[in-house]
A and B are shown apart, each in its own frame.
Chain A
Amino acid sequence: MKGSVGKIFTIFWKDILLEIRTKEIITSVLVFALLVLVIFNFAFEPETATMGLVAPGILWVAFTFAGVLGLNRVFAIERGNSRLAGLLLCPVDHMVIYWGKLLGSFTFMLAIEIVVTPIFLALLNLPLLLPRLILIIVLATLGFTSVGTLFSALAINIRARDIMLPILFLPIVVPVVIAAVEATVVVLQGDPWGDMLTWLQIMIAFDIIYLVVSTLVFQYVVEA
């Protein structure tokens, strides 16, 4: 067990190093997420009354779409030059590869959300630090990336992979999107903790179920 943690971290660190040197995923996805926020301002009248109602939806649409773009890259960077074969040849269990990749995609998405969320809150004239919103973002991002990392690995094997990843990913994460939006409504309206408890529970259940299932089936996705 102790050995696996080190191996997971090695794979994770490889992706982080690659990202630090190329800055390929975070920069482009970050700009995309900000653009989604801006485009929605044109789609809805930016009046305070209506904005309060649609704001949680806008935030989560931005994160969901940005998530798809980022997840597309997670395994796409392993294509060509037999890089995926090289990764799979590592003397580690396939579960370790899944968790290393998961940790990477989770970190990338969180990094984007750390930048986008304060900008989003500033646009709405809300306090820039909402601890409960951070909790929602962490839980939802874990849900997105748990199943998204699995689908990212699956999508590199199929034609039309760029369009197939969102088509596979979006229906599955519907419960997370609903729960995240509803919980964000509670936070932005300043309602008590009790009101968002159910939504947090749904996200926690989703996270646990998909972390376990993805860990178990990942080997079938990458098997040569």
Chain B
Amino acid sequence: MDGRGALRHYILVGLGFALMVAALYMVFIYVPTDKNTGAVQRIFYFHVPLAWIGFLAFFVVFVCSILYLTKRDIKWDVIATASAEVGVVFTSLVLLTGSIWAKAAWGIWWTWDARLTATLVLWFTYVAYLLVRHYVTEDSQRARLSAVLGIVGFIDVPIVALAVMLWRTQHPGAMIFEGGLAPSMLATLIVCIAAFTVFYIILVTQSTRLKNMETDIRDIKNSKID
């Protein structure tokens, strides 16, 4: 990492740390307990940012996949993988935190509601994406095939969403946009989203660096053998 890159990295980590501490303070101390559902409602401040950033991560995969196929620069493939990995972890956490909340609020761990189903389908799609990457050994072929999947998989998202929405829905959703959220709760949510966005950027840049180093080391090893 050169000087400017290092500086940028430390600024990002510092910002992320400050935001995360602020988010924790706001979620557990500042924001009042929800009248209807109680303390378990606080999961919402982690659940919603994770869901949105998870979705953003898959959108980044989609954009990087198109860029790879048009520009053929391996850089885009590396960013796409890093983003897909973070997206799968975040989406897994969305499903987990959602289940914990649902058990308290609805009395069940899981239901075949529209958003739950759509999120699960999304999770499967990108797990398949990572599996394919694992099963293809040659670099350019792996980049090419996974880019196709990154495009084909993401295009499915609106169709899945539409189909399951018509199928059944019981997930609370519109509240955030209809202004049903108290100002203190909205403020907490915004800080949490900011914290998780910076966290996502740190994870993707670090993972990208790591993957580039792995490639460099492999190239050096191979050149020695030759």
Q: A95 → chain B, closest Cβ, in Å?
A: 15
A157 touching B152 in the complex, CB below 8 Å, given contacts A205-B159, A220-B144, A221-B145: no
Tell me if A158 and B125 are in contact (CB < 8 A).
no
A103 and B141 CA atoms in complex are apart in Å by 26
A157 and B117 CA atoms in complex are apart in Å by 30
Residues of B within 8 A of A (CB): 69, 117, 121, 124-125, 127-128, 131-132, 135-137, 141, 144-145, 147-149, 151-153, 155-156, 159-160, 162-164, 166-167
Contact pattern, A 127-150, Cβ under 8 Å of B = 1, otherwise 0: 000000000000000000001001
Tell me if B167 and A182 are in contact (CB < 8 A).
yes
A150 touching B132 in the complex, CB below 8 Å, given contacts A178-B164, A179-B163, A202-B159: no
Tell me if A168 and B162 are in contact (CB < 8 A).
no
Tell me if B135 and A159 are in contact (CB < 8 A).
yes
Residues of A near B152 (CB, < 8 A) are: 147, 150, 172, 210, 213-214, 217
Contact pattern, A 171-189, Cβ under 8 Å of B = 1, otherwise 0: 1101100110010000000
Q: B156's contact among A164, A172, A199, by CB below 8 Å, is which?
A: A172
Tell me if B166 and A198 are in contact (CB < 8 A).
yes
Q: A174's contact among B121, B141, B155, by CB below 8 Å, is which?
A: B121
Which A residues from 96 to 147 make CB contacts under 8 A with B?
147
Residues of B near A221 (CB, < 8 A) are: 144-145, 148
Q: A20 an interface residue at 8 Å Cβ cutoff?
A: no
A94 and B128 CA atoms in complex are apart in Å by 25
For A218, the closest partner residue in chain B by CB is: B148
Q: A160 an interface residue at 8 Å Cβ cutoff?
A: yes
Contact pattern, A 14-39, Cβ under 8 Å of B = 1, otherwise 0: 00000000000000000000000000
**What is the interface size of chain A, counting residues whose CB is below 8 A from a CB of the partner?**
31
A209 touching B167 in the complex, CB below 8 Å, given contacts A158-B145, A167-B128, A171-B128: no
Q: A168's contact among B69, B132, B136, B137, by CB below 8 Å, is which?
A: B132
Cβ contacts A to B, 18 pairs, < 8 Å: A154-B145, A154-B148, A157-B136, A158-B132, A164-B131, A171-B128, A174-B121, A174-B156, A174-B164, A175-B156, A175-B159, A178-B167, A206-B159, A213-B151, A213-B152, A213-B155, A217-B69, A220-B147
Q: B116 → chain A, closest Cβ, in Å?
A: 13
A175 touching B132 in the complex, CB below 8 Å, given contacts A217-B148, A217-B152, A220-B147: no
Residues of B near A45 (CB, < 8 A) are: none
Q: B159's contact among A150, A209, A223, by CB below 8 Å, is which?
A: A209
For A221, the closest partner residue in chain B by CB is: B148
A198 and B219 CA atoms in complex are apart in Å by 54
With A160-B135, A164-B135, A223-B144 known, 16 other A-B pairs at CB within 8 A are: A150-B152, A154-B145, A158-B135, A167-B131, A171-B128, A174-B121, A175-B159, A175-B162, A202-B162, A202-B166, A209-B159, A210-B152, A217-B69, A217-B151, A220-B144, A220-B148
Interface centre among A170, A175, A213, A223 (most CB of B within 10 A): A175
Q: A157's contact among B141, B153, B159, by CB below 8 Å, is which?
A: B141
A174 and B164 CA atoms in complex are apart in Å by 9
Q: B221 → chain A, closest Cβ, in Å?
A: 23
Tell me if B153 and A172 are in contact (CB < 8 A).
yes
A157 and B141 CA atoms in complex are apart in Å by 8
